[in-house]
Amino acid sequence: MTWEKDRQLVASLARQVVHYAAPDELPFFKATCDAFFAAPKLARRGHRDEPLGFGLETAFTVISTLALTVTVDVFKQLTEEHIRRMIDKTAPTFRLAALSKLFHRPPEQSADPLPHLHQDQITKIRELAYRRARQLQASEEQATLIADGIAKALASQFTMED
């Protein structure tokens, strides 16, 4: 149940990114999304030297898969931020090593709504998204589009109905 909510959040955010960056990919977004959540580790460029494949490494890639991967990372970052704030709000005496470990661990899925983000936080997340997209071999233009799309969606406080 919890994971399902998070999934919907990620999908919703990524959908906004695709809507912003590459609207012509929307017809395939749902199918891409389903495939992505079924096997996120397989979301990568196929092996170009596959027998009877086309065998070319073209510069062109779609944004949907990249947007989903980047959004997951951003979502993790947001969750992390959210946990950190919750910990900050609690009494300092509870800030023990165990919680610290938990803090440094990759966050589990959270069903809590995303916090309201300040502009500087959005800027940081945008930078994170850009870096991650570039790591995924997105072109500079695509990385910018994805990062801008995420920033824009977060600034407008996207909703799950999106």
Among residues 1, 57, 98, 159, the one that binds another protein under rule CB under 8 A: 57
Which of 60, 92, 97, 98 touches another protein (CB under 8 A)? 60
Question: Is residue 36 close enough to count as binding another protein by CB under 8 A?
Answer: yes
C-alpha–C-alpha distance, residues 69 and 44, integer Å: 10
19 neighbors 26 (Cβ within 8 angstroms): yes
**By CB under 8 A, residue 46 contacts another protein:** yes
- The whole-angstrom distance between residue 155's C-alpha and the CA centroid of its chain comes to 15
- Binding of residue 38 to another protein (CB under 8 A): yes
* Piece of 44-52, 78-86, 98-106, 107-115 that binds another protein (CB under 8 A): 44-52
Cα separations in angstroms, 112 against 2, 83, 96, 133: 9, 10, 23, 26
Q: CB of 142: closest distance to another protein in angstroms?
A: 10
Q: Which of 85, 74, 82 is nearest to 125 (CA)?
A: 74
Interface residues for another protein in 6-35 (CB under 8 A)? Answer: 22, 24-25, 27-28, 30-32, 34-35
Asked whether the CA dihedral 146, 152, 155, 161 is positive or negative, the reply is negative
**Does residue 55 touch another protein according to CB under 8 A?**
yes
Name which of 62 and 114 has its Cβ closer to another protein: 62
